Amino acid sequence: MEAVVIKDLCCTYDGFVAIDRVNMIVNKGEFVAIMGPNGGGKTTLLRAIAGMIKPQRGYVKVKGEIGYMPQKEHVNFEIPIKVREVVEMGIMSKKKKFSLFSKLSREEKELVNNALKAVDMLKFVERNFTELSGGQQQRVLLARAIATKPDILLLDEPFNGVDLPTQEKIIKLLDNLASEGVSVITVVHNVSPLIHHVSRIALLNRELIAYGKPEEVLTPENTAKTYGIPIPTTVCKEGYIHPLFGDIHG
């Protein structure tokens, strides 16, 4: 079943073409990674799927509710706000309630607690968000995205500032969500930690270079078109292909 359909998508900023001629289909329960160089349009694509950007041409069709986790650097909390309130904001935005003083139902409060528990942040529920480490903030933002129990989960660099044990926990959580039918679409710098879990990879550099299974997409020709130079790969003992990025920034 199709969850996201993208057809001939073109998005611009002040006349600058950020992405163009993007065609993708993401099915229910798929785990998709989006890769590409800085400035290649990865965040733009996520925002277009989320309905935050109006296409210049083409369209995006989504079937179901969306949860969106932005990059931490794009979140601005100028006033002191507690972890609980950050996650509650995700639920209130779905209800068109934007006041921090709005009351949640008992069921909604349970959703908040369950989301924080899922990312191992429930014990920080009354802590100020700005007092947390970068990795902890990432986990709270992920909790906000999953608290509404979305059908489609969009993540923009969810592993930035996250240590390896936490990264593994997040990957397991995302894998479980996908197995439950949630379509997970995440922008990542290095797909290797996810390679055993993702169903498809999209290589994006303003245009969609390739989209498909990792072993089909991660070829020298495709990575050269995406990053300017071919990215070497290796195959692990389980038979999965892993790109070796070194100092290349995606």
- Give the domain range for residue 40: 1-64+151-250
Task: Give the pLDDT score at 95.
Answer: 64
Whether 72 maps to a domain, the answer reads: no
DSSP annotation string for 166-215: HHHHHHHHHHHHHHTT-EEEEE-S--GGGTTT-SEEEEEESEEEEEE-HH
User: 39: Cβ–Cβ under 8 A, 6 or more apart, which residues?
Assistant: none
Residue 55 lies in a domain: yes
For residues 3 and 95, state if they share a domain.
no
User: How many structural domains is the chain composed of?
Assistant: 2
Q: According to the model, what pLDDT value does residue 91 have?
A: 86
Residues 167-187 pLDDT 10s: 998 999 999 999 999 999 999
176 and 248 together in one domain: yes
Q: Which of 120, 150, 180 is the last residue of a domain?
A: 150
Q: Specify the pTM.
A: 0.91
In this structure, is residue 138 part of a structural domain?
yes
Claim to verify: residue 98 and residue 219 sit in the same structural domain? no
End-to-end CA distance of the chain: 30
Residues 52 and 84 in one domain: no
Whether 250 and 155 share a structural domain: yes
Q: Which residues of the chain have pLDDT under 70?
A: 73-78, 95-102, 246-250
Domain boundary (150, 165, 183) is at 150
Asked whether residue 86 falls in the same domain as residue 111, the answer is yes
**Rounded CA separation 162/168 (Å):** 10
Is the domain of 16 the same as that of 60? yes
Q: Which residue is associated with the tokens 């296409």?
A: 55
pLDDT in tens, 5-36: 999 999 998 889 999 999 999 999 999 999 99
* Domain assignment of residue 30, yes or no: yes
Residue 71 lies in a domain: no
Q: What's the confidence (pLDDT) of residue 102?
A: 63
What's residue 249's pLDDT? 46
Position 70 in a domain: no
pLDDT at 73: 60
46: enclosing H helix or E strand:
helix 42-49
Same-domain status, 196 and 231: yes
CATH of the domain at 39: 3.40.50.300
pLDDT of residue 15: 83
Given 106, 129, 150, which residue is the final one in a domain?
A: 150
